[in-house]
Chain A
């Protein structure tokens, strides 16, 4: 009985394999048919003739070759188009589609992709994006923004001048944007068609570079609900699981080359690097030195050094309100004491640049010709001894990772010149809440996002600047600044900027020892430009290398 069952099973198996072979053969024929269909029509009746068959076989071979070449060409053509892109970045759990609430780098990338900007900032000056033109009046207290012809949102509705006003008004009401847009006078601002006239409370010549180019998103009626005129359209997702963005077919510069972008929340820098290694993402945005080390020897991955226009300026604030740094000579001695090269090499590696106590490094108007302050411990020791300075206090906090380590390294530098440093460490979460107390301390660590010199001067070096943390100002800086922002002559403006920079370089209370650039890594084949280190995905292309 068992034998008969086994024999039956064997027969079934043999039959099935025979059928399988037949099917394979038929399938093979089908494939050939598909390949030959355009060329073999009308010749099927002559297939019995062997000679003809040989000819046909030859023809088929040739056609197959042609088809293969054609297919290769098609694949190549497909390669010319960009592939979907997966980006790893850091998001905050409460990020939304409203730019006034976004606090994370990933959130900013999302915002810029959806809403775009009227103007963007490049190290050599502003670049018009949604705006066709921006013109200032003669008195520099009004700017006429004209939108690109036919500019529409992703849902097809036209973008209007009134939308610009509504959007900027909404943004300006947000507490952390108030200082940036505070000079806009919305009572006098008007709109007509695709034009908006932005009135200012006082004349400013650098309104485009210092305000609009920082970021000026536009949404319908100023309601930022995810519909913008940017290169991408929000499809689905949330900050925890990531977002999917689809290319905006109505984008003013044409549909973006990359058809779909997936943004994933990857908080850990090393995890981003590992995901890039395994091919789970194509672009890791915002990496630390350890992650860079992981990726430095990987084939097929490019490390992208961020530009200075999106860098972070790291500094020691020498508080001019209290002794001993109320004395310009003591401030100068401190500037000669710190070994900037060692700090940058140790803490920032090859992705840092040495600072020269001036703001806006990397931008076109930054006065590069002012001599770099060099360490001179002998001279510093002499000044400190002459002034009888033997003790100072530095308050530090890792508001940006590395500031506490930098302070610890400075302690040795100051010890070398006979000054004992007492370090007080503060919780980064409460550091800014204690600015009143900090202004009573001799020195403290700080950081700035690098912006144009004029934008930095406005917020930091004037008597009424909201962020004048060192407390230093002078008649020269005040007068030069007023002249710089009210002149239309770029050369004249550059001279004033240089005067201010020279003054704060020599007498100011900000010891800017380094600039930390953002580092990203990407799969080879991705080409993208950045705006203050945020990649513009709308103009990017991605053809991954095989």
Chain B
């Protein structure tokens, strides 16, 4: 009897794992199909972009050469088949392998995201929690700084940072380029300026959300009861308040991941960082569907994984609360 229960639990976990995987795959498929559709809906295509000035005959000939005259479903499933076999296809305009085009931006953006993510976890979250939980001059100063910084557009903030740190103090280079043929890890200095700018941009919005959330948790009845029971302020924070706030924090963190990977176009352009945001926008402008799909499918996977993890974390916390 004792052996049968864990077996059942194992089976249930396995079923759940399969269901979760299926859910992720289904969501991914749906999202990439919508992405493909959106690229299709956009006016113009790679052929009009390249030879539009030369008239409709030239456009039609190039569309045929690029295979853009084929039905949407045929093109989509051809791309999907290639993707499943590990072939991301070729650029419509240059014929270059998409994998080669997105390799450098992918490494650069992932590295940047990793650094900024670490900064958010180890610096921003503790500061936001402190600011929401403790009421003193430092916490008020943090809040005001976040308000001021959040009022600055991304563009202005990045330019100000460049002017101060690169031009005035000469601490960092203006160009965040690792150098020809090098990855950002071979020249880590190239990551400093974009990661600093991105960290500030992500931090200010996250700080405000988290601070308000922690503040509301601090005012909740169970926290008050914990104080009345004579527990110390730190114990209330770490044992009672933070575990309850964890699902919310996880959701906020998950929502920053897609931005970190591909939404950082302004920062990348101003610092000349070879990331995915710039490559993606260029690909959309030139209607390079294979490149957009290559980057998009990857981003969608990452986003779904992070949101699923956040959901799982939230579900676990709720179950734990129920058990308690």
Contact = CB atoms under 8 A, between A and B. Distances in A.
Interface of A: 88, 92-96, 98, 101-103, 175-176, 178-179, 235-238, 240-244, 262-268, 270-271, 274-275, 277-278, 280-281, 427, 429-433, 435-436, 466-467
A432 B53 contact: yes
B162 A93 contact: no
Interface of B: 42-45, 48-56, 58-59, 61-62, 65, 91, 93-96, 101, 104-105, 108, 159, 162, 166-167, 170, 173-175, 177-182, 269-272, 274, 278-279, 282-283, 285-288, 291
For A242, A270, A280, the residue with the greatest tally of chain B CB atoms inside 10 Å of its CB is A242
B96 A466 contact: no
B91 A433 contact: no
Given A93-B283, A430-B44, A241 B104 contact: yes
Contacts of A264: 175, 177, 180, 272
Interface class of chain B by DSSP: helix
Given A94-B93, A101-B96, A435 B55 contact: yes
A-B pairs, 3 with minimum CB distance: A432-B52, A237-B180, A433-B48
B174 A278 contact: yes
B174 A175 contact: no
B51 A280 contact: no
Given A237-B180, A274-B174, A432 B272 contact: no
Contacts of B173: 278, 280
B48 A430 contact: yes
Contacts of B53: 432, 435, 467
Contacts of A271: 174-175, 269-272
Given A237-B181, A435-B56, A175 B51 contact: yes
A300 to B, nearest CB: 15
A241 B178 contact: yes
Contacts of B282: 92-93
B174 to A, nearest CB: 5
A187 B104 CA distance: 43
Contacts of A427: 43-44
B135 to A, nearest CB: 42
26 contacts: A92-B282, A93-B105, A93-B282, A93-B283, A94-B94, A94-B101, A94-B291, A101-B95, A102-B94, A175-B51, A235-B180, A264-B175, A266-B175, A266-B177, A267-B269, A268-B270, A271-B270, A274-B166, A275-B175, A280-B174, A280-B175, A427-B43, A427-B44, A432-B44, A433-B44, A435-B56
For A243, A427, A435, the residue with the greatest tally of chain B CB atoms inside 10 Å of its CB is A435
B31 to A, nearest CB: 23
Contact of A242 (B55, B105, B177): B177
A385 B61 CA distance: 46
A433 B50 contact: no
A242 B170 contact: no
Given A178-B58, A275-B174, 7 more contacts: A94-B101, A101-B94, A175-B58, A175-B62, A236-B180, A238-B181, A432-B52
B316 to A, nearest CB: 40
Contact of A96 (B56, B96, B288): B96
Contacts of B159: 270
Contacts of B170: 278
A252 to B, nearest CB: 26
A432 B49 CA distance: 8
Contacts of A430: 43-44, 48
B177 A241 contact: yes
Contact of A240 (B62, B91, B104, B162): B104
B44 A242 contact: no
Nearest to B66: A175
Contacts of B48: 430, 432-433
A433 B62 CA distance: 13
B43 A244 contact: no
A466 B181 contact: no
Given A101-B94, A175-B58, A240-B105, A265 B52 contact: no
A101 B291 CA distance: 15
A178 B54 CA distance: 10
B56 A436 contact: yes
Nearest to B42: A429
B180 A175 contact: no
Interface class of chain A by DSSP: mixed
Contacts of B51: 175-176
Contacts of B272: 264-268, 271, 275
Contacts of B45: 433
Nearest to A92: B282
For A275, A431, A433, the residue with the greatest tally of chain B CB atoms inside 10 Å of its CB is A433
Contacts of B178: 241
Contacts of B177: 241-242, 264-266
Contacts of A93: 101, 105, 278-279, 282-283, 291
A110 to B, nearest CB: 11
A268 B270 CA distance: 6
Contacts of B291: 93-94
A429 B44 contact: yes
Given A175-B51, A264-B175, A429-B49, A94 B180 contact: no
A139 to B, nearest CB: 29
B91 to A, nearest CB: 4
B182 A241 contact: yes
A95 B283 CA distance: 12
A93 B269 CA distance: 13
Nearest to A262: B180
Contacts of A243: 180
Given A92-B282, A94-B96, A236-B181, A433 B104 contact: no
A433 B279 contact: no
B279 to A, nearest CB: 5
Contacts of A240: 104-105, 108, 274, 279
Contacts of A101: 93-96
Nearest to B272: A266
A501 B125 CA distance: 69
A241 B288 contact: no
Nearest to B45: A433
A263 B180 CA distance: 8
A57 to B, nearest CB: 44
Contacts of B49: 429, 432
Nearest to B92: A94
A429 B285 contact: yes
Contacts of B285: 429
A100 B170 CA distance: 41
Contacts of A236: 180-181
A238 B104 contact: yes
B54 A179 contact: yes
Nearest to B176: A271
B293 to A, nearest CB: 14
Contacts of B44: 427, 429-430, 432-433
A194 B61 CA distance: 35
A436 B271 CA distance: 40
Contacts of A92: 282, 286
A522 to B, nearest CB: 16
For B175, B179, B182, B285, the residue with the greatest tally of chain A CB atoms inside 10 Å of its CB is B175
A533 B91 CA distance: 28
Contacts of A176: 50-51, 54
B5 to A, nearest CB: 55
A63 to B, nearest CB: 41
Given A94-B288, A175-B58, A244 B105 contact: no
A263 B181 CA distance: 11
A297 to B, nearest CB: 14
A409 to B, nearest CB: 24
Contacts of B181: 236-238, 241, 244
Contacts of B94: 94-96, 98, 101-102
A273 to B, nearest CB: 9
